Structure formats: structure tokens, C-alpha cells
């Protein structure tokens, strides 16, 4: 890391703003805070910001609308924060261009992990004004906001969180050999839990989910002594 990332915290709750500021600064980030939309816009004009943690429920203009505004203006990654329960909120937030979504109350470490993950994704290149909404590959379709994998037969295939994560990594780097270390690094960008399995087990689970035969896989192929490769073209929908 060169300079610490500058994070803008937008939340109408004074305590959460200052606590989050203190916590994130404790993790080495620089932070700014804003209580509402106008304050956020003002700050964005004056200061270069690397990532915005945006609360959904704000007085006046709400988080959804601010998210749209930010997307129209710039590429600054957004993590949405909300105390609402609807899963539709998450989908809507991601559809509007948020990069990730964290529900209140959250584990502070989880938020840091998400911030780290989003920042890494943005730095590693696939950064553009457009957020990928869906991938299609070999007649499969993965909708990102909904986290839904649709088989070629049109059947929804539920995924575990780790399966989804791994599949997204492969889809972001199609036709590229990914070493085990790279996969582990990307998968466990968040702090590795004590129960995390070996990457090989995860790959074999994912193959199984995609209807691939472990001995003769068509989609995720093993590259001897190197790693794995997603051996198919991937189309993106923005």
C-alpha cells in the first residue's frame, strides 16, 4: 500500500459516524464524514475520495438516490450500509451501482474486509464507470445483484457464499490461469476463517455445481502445477 485510502462515511447518526471514523482510522484509513447528501456532495467536490460508505436511510435525499448521483458523476466505489431488512434493498442498491452492501448491525471486521475487497477489485483493473450486473458463459448466467446462477435449462442453482465468491473470481478472469495462491488471495481477501477449506475442495464443489465432471472438466480446467483456468468466453452485462 502506498497512501492510505480515503474513505467517506455518510450516515445521519452522529455516534455511528464518529465511531466508524475512529474504527476505520484505527485500521489505517483516512476518513471524512458527512451527515447527509449536501454535505457528502460538498466533500466530494473538495476532497479526492477512494471509497464511500453510504447509509441508505438519510434525511432528505436517500442513499439510493445519492448512489445514482455518484454513479452519474464518478466511479468512486460505494459500499451501502442499511438498517433495512428487505433483500430487495440489497438488490436495488447493487443494481444502482453500489459495489457492495453491508447490513446493520454489522461485524466491524466484516466491514473492513468488504472495504478491502472493493478497493482491491477497483485497483486490480476491472475498473470502469460501469458495474457488471451479470456474466454469461457457456449458456450459464450469473446475475450479480441477485447472486443468482441460472443453468442453461433455466433452472436456478443456489450457491453457497464461498461458491459465489469463487465463481465471480473465475468469471472476472476468463481464459486466464489463476494460481492457487491467487485464488486464495482473492477468496480470502477477507480474513481467512479457521474453517476455510483448501482451494481444491472449493473448485471441485464449484465444478460439481456447474455440472462439470471432475475428471474431464469442460469449464474450469486444471492447469498442471499451475492452477486453474476458466476455459470459456465470458460475456458481461452492465
Partner 1 sequence: MTGVLLLGLVLAQLLSMAVNILDRGRAFYRSTTLQVAEHISDIAKALDAVRPDERARIVSRLSDSRLAIVLSHSPDIADSVSERPYARAFQAMLRRDLGAHWPVHVLLHRATRRDSHTTPFFSEVPANALDRYLTLRLFYLAPRGFAFVTHIQLHDGSWVTFSARLPYEHIARLYILLPKLVLMLAIAVALLLIAVRWVTRPMKKMARAALALGQDLNSAPLEESGPEEIRATARALNVMQLRLQEYVRDRATMLAALSHDLKTFITRLRLRTELLPDSQHRNRLIGDLADMATMVNATLEYLHGIDPGQGQALFDVTALAESIRIDAEDMGWTVTIEGTAREPFYGNPQDLRRCLMNLVDNAVKYGSRATIYLEDRSDGMTIAVCDPGPGIPSHELERVFEPFYRSRPARGRDREGTGLGLNIARTIARAHGGDVTLQAGTARGFCAVIHLPRHTFPGKSTS
Interface ranges with partner 1 (CB under 8 A): 13, 15-16, 19-20, 22-23, 26, 57, 83-85, 87, 104-108, 141, 150-151, 153-163, 193-197, 205, 208-209
Q: Report the distance separating Cα 32 and Cα 35, nearest Å.
A: 10
Q: How far is the CB of 203 from partner 1 (least distance, A)?
A: 13
- Which CB, 173 or 202, lies closer to partner 1? 202
Q: How far is the CB of 205 from partner 1 (least distance, A)?
A: 6
- Which CB, 60 or 128, lies closer to partner 1? 60
- Which CB, 75 or 196, lies closer to partner 1? 196
Q: How far is the CB of 39 from partner 1 (least distance, A)?
A: 19
Q: How far is the CB of 123 from partner 1 (least distance, A)?
A: 26
- Which CB, 102 or 171, lies closer to partner 1? 102
- Which CB, 44 or 135, lies closer to partner 1? 135
Q: How far is the CB of 202 from partner 1 (least distance, A)?
A: 8
Amino acid at each position: 500500500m502506498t497512501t492510505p485510502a480515503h474513505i467517506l462515511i455518510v450516515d445521519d447518526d452522529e455516534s455511528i459516524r464518529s465511531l466508524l471514523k475512529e474504527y476505520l482510522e484505527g485500521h489505517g484509513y483516512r476518513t471524512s464524514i458527512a451527515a447527509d447528501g449536501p454535505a457528502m456532495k460538498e466533500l466530494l467536490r473538495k476532497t479526492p475520495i477512494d471509497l464511500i460508505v453510504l447509509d441508505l436511510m438519510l434525511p432528505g435525499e436517500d442513499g439510493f438516490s445519492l448512489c445514482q448521483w455518484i454513479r452519474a458523476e464518478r466511479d468512486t466505489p460505494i459500499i451501502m450500509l442499511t438498517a433495512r431488512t428487505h433483500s430487495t434493498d440489497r438488490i436495488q442498491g447493487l443494481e444502482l451501482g453500489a459495489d457492495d452492501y453491508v447490513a446493520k448491525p454489522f461485524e466491524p471486521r466484516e466491514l473492513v474486509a468488504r472495504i478491502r475487497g472493493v478497493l482491491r477489485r477497483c485497483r486490480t483493473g476491472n475498473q470502469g464507470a460501469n458495474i457488471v450486473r451479470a456474466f454469461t458463459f457457456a449458456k450459464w448466467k450469473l446475475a450479480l445483484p441477485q447472486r443468482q446462477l441460472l443453468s442453461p435449462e433455466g433452472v436456478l442453482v443456489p450457491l453457497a457464499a464461498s461458491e459465489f465468491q469463487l465463481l465471480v473470481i473465475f468469471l472476472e478472469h476468463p481464459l486466464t490461469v489463476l494460481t492457487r495462491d491467487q485464488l486464495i488471495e482473492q477468496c480470502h481477501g477477507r480474513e481467512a476463517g479457521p474453517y476455510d477449506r483448501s482451494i481444491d475442495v472449493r473448485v471441485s464443489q464449484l465444478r460439481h455445481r456447474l455440472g462439470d465432471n471432475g475428471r474431464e472438466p469442460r469449464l474450469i480446467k486444471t492447469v498442471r502445477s499451475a492452477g486453474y483456468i476458466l476455459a470459456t468466453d465470458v460475456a458481461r452485462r452492465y
